Chains A and B, each alone.
Chain A
Amino acid sequence: DADVTQTPRNRITKTGKRIMLECSQTKGHDRMYWYRQDPGLGLRLIYYSFDVKDINKGEISDGYSVSRQAQAKFSLSLESAIPNQTALYFCATSDRSSPNEKLFFGSGTQLSVL
């Protein structure tokens, strides 16, 4: 079983719909992240959480919200999806006690907004 699991793996939705992407981890890490990947733009940080109920904005948080109700779960919501939110989304975790911020990624969710 994967240590960082993202669901769904693929999602097609329509403009204006609310959707939620889920992430769960069995690594016991306290820190969790949501990234977005677009071709040629690399990985951009949307939101991150260092502990339960701790929420911090990343560089591209507009149009997104997150929830961290448990250490192992971090969900990303698009309140009203728009086409330019079509992208590959990754959840990642890291361990506060590790010497540096080594991230462990899930397999990604490919989101298409029509």
Chain B
Amino acid sequence: GAGVSQSPSNKVTEKGKDVELRCDPISGHTALYWYRQSLGQGLEFLIYFQGNSAPDKSGLPSDRFSAERTGGSVSTLTIQRTQQEDSAVYLCASSLDSGAQSGNTIYFGEGSWLTVV
């Protein structure tokens, strides 16, 4: 597709259940990022992928959160044993990483809204 695609767009889950959120980056983009935004709050960085590896996982809030990327394209963010404070919109972004001249613009998807009840 033309932009970053995320699914599901909305997810309601019960406390304690596991959830998986999917991100399809823009075709050809090697860099992929996950962010989280709680209601009324700012955007919080979670993890960055370059290809299939994750050189920066510094934003993952706990070991209940993990992410993987396969084939240098699709990424999945997994939250285990969800808690109510995990309720937020989870945003995925990607960039081309073609070199300094381009400025490496990062483009965002519309997010996956997660509600833990």
B is bound to A: no
Residues in B lying within 8 Å of A, measured CB to CB: none
Residues in A lying within 8 Å of B, measured CB to CB: none
